[in-house]
């Protein structure tokens, strides 16, 4: 297929549209609940355990949505548009409708919509970048969640003045405006039926590595299990960070700023991780990313002041997208073009970790009056994952016959 009809500006247009789509789906649709939770707690419309349940329902929806993507045959642009409109409507619904059961339905549906948007916008955007020869812009797409998280964090900090209902409606209106701005970009036009050129076949040595000792079922199982630890390890802080900060710094103006700081850290992390050379060992990269997040989680316990929480937020956010990128790269190293199944299992494992985290942490924090124990367990999970990835990576690099 000739790419003569495409210009670099088309690559930029696609990358920026997908960036906005992920900002809406993930930053607003999925993670706006984090800065809204302390407001809803303060207003008495929700308690901490209920907040944990709503968060887990959203992650359950994301899990179901991600698994359903393989069976969906609707064109990607239609799925992206539908997911974005649904996200905006569900945000509005959180402000217009009341009651825990209704909120549970809305947050579950928002999880499904965000998963559909993430998967189909990613696929559509990466295809467009391949068509334009602008692969290097892949990192731009994945800055979207960080931008959305930072924006919702800053806007959510004002929610205590407006009230939760007005804030949710405001998020929905912002989402509608952003969706309107990128609506026309998601149009395959005359290229809807085209396929990307087949990926070049690996050299014999590479195929052997992927099918042999480096790509065995043991490594695949390890990836699935250890990727689930990442989902559990970060989600407790990502769900309750403003609440944790308020407990540590009562009466301070700082707690509302740590969540947007987390989002801002995601942006350079996405850009830098996308430039990591393909020959670098993904397992060692994952070990480093897990270790960074483990330290970030520990800092909120060991150094619960402004500096510790700020540094912890940065260390948690920087590898947020990198972990997903390196895990997907490892799946492709192990299974090549047949990696979809392994990616699906790994994503499911990550989703289970996210579901378990809030419903484990919230009741425990409610009983003890502190998130110390849940955070220590989360840090231990991340540290264990880092150690195991490092061990697997170093073992694979050891020369044959070495002791």
Mean pLDDT score of the chain, rounded to an integer? 87
Residue 204 confidence (pLDDT) above 60 = no
155-181 tens-digit pLDDT: 887 777 889 999 999 999 999 999 999
Residue 203 confidence (pLDDT) above 50 = no
Confidence at 295, pLDDT banded by 50, 70, 90: very high
User: What is the predicted pLDDT for the residue at 103?
Assistant: 98
Q: Which of 343, 348, 340 is nearest to 63 (CA)?
A: 348
pTM (2 d.p.): 0.86
User: What is the predicted pLDDT for the residue at 202?
Assistant: 37
Q: 106-120, 289-303, 387-401: which has the minimum mean pLDDT? A: 387-401
181-199 tens-digit pLDDT: 999 999 854 343 334 333 3
Position of tokens 């993904």? 282
Confidence at 270, pLDDT banded by 50, 70, 90: very high
User: What is the predicted pLDDT for the residue at 6?
Assistant: 56
Half-sphere exposure of 34 (CA within 13 A, CB side): 33
* Spatial separation of the C-alpha atoms in residues 364 and 378, rounded to whole Å: 13
Confidence at 25, pLDDT banded by 50, 70, 90: very high
Q: How far is CA 82 from CA 59, 86, 118, 201, 298, in A?
A: 19, 6, 12, 36, 39
99-139 tens-digit pLDDT: 999 999 999 999 999 999 988 998 899 888 888 888 888 88
Q: What does the chain come to in residues?
A: 403
Confidence at 397, pLDDT banded by 50, 70, 90: low
Residue 200 confidence (pLDDT) above 80 = no
List of residues 6+ apart from 40 with CB closer than 8 A: 46, 51, 164
Percentage of residues of the chain with pLDDT beyond 70: 89
Percentage of residues of the chain with pLDDT beyond 90: 67
Confidence at 27, pLDDT banded by 50, 70, 90: very high
């Amino acid at each position: 297929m000739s790419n003569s009809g495409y210009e670099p500006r088309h690559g930029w247009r696609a990358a920026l549209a997908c960036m906005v789509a992920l900002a809406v789906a993930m930053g607003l649709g999925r993670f706006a609940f984090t800065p809204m939770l302390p407001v809803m707690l303060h207003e008495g419309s929700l308690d901490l355990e209920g907040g944990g349940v709503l968060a887990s329902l959203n992650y359950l929806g994301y899990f179901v949505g991600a698994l359903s993507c393989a069976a969906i045959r609707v064109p990607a642009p239609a799925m992206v548009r539908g997911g974005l409109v649904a996200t905006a409507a569900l945000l509005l619904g959180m402000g217009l409708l009341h009651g825990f059961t209704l909120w549970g339905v809305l947050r579950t549906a928002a999880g499904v919509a965000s998963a559909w948007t993430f998967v189909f916008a990613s696929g559509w955007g990466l295809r467009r970048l391949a068509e334009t020869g602008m692969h290097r812009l892949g990192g731009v797409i994945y800055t979207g969640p960080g931008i959305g998280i930072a924006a919702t964090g800053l806007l959510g900090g004002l929610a205590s003045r407006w009230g939760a209902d007005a804030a949710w409606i405001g998020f929905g209106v912002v989402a509608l405006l952003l969706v309107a701005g990128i609506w026309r970009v998601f149009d395959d036009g005359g290229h809807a039926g085209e396929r990307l050129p087949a990926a070049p076949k690996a050299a014999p040595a590479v195929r052997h590595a992927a099918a042999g000792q480096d790509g065995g079922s043991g490594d695949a199982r390890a990836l699935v299990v250890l990727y689930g630890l990442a989902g559990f390890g970060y989600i407790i802080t990502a769900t309750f960070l403003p609440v944790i900060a308020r407990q540590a710094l009562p009466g301070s103006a700082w707690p509302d700023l740590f969540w947007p700081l987390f989002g801002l850290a995601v942006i350079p992390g996405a850009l830098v991780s996308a430039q990591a050379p393909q020959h670098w060992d993904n397992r060692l990269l994952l070990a480093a990313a897990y270790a960074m997040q483990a330290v970030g989680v520990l800092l909120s316990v060991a150094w619960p002041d402004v500096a510790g929480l700020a540094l912890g937020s940065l260390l948690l956010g920087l590898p947020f997208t990198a972990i997903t990128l390196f895990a997907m790269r490892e799946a492709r190293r192990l299974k090549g073009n047949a990696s979809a199944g392994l990616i699906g299992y790994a994503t499911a494992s990550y989703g289970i970790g996210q579901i378990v985290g809030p419903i484990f942490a919230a009741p425990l924090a409610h009983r003890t009056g502190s998130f110390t124990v849940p955070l220590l367990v989360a840090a231990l999970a991340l540290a264990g994952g880092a150690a195991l990835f490092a061990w697997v990576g170093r073992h694979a690099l050891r020369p044959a016959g070495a002791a």
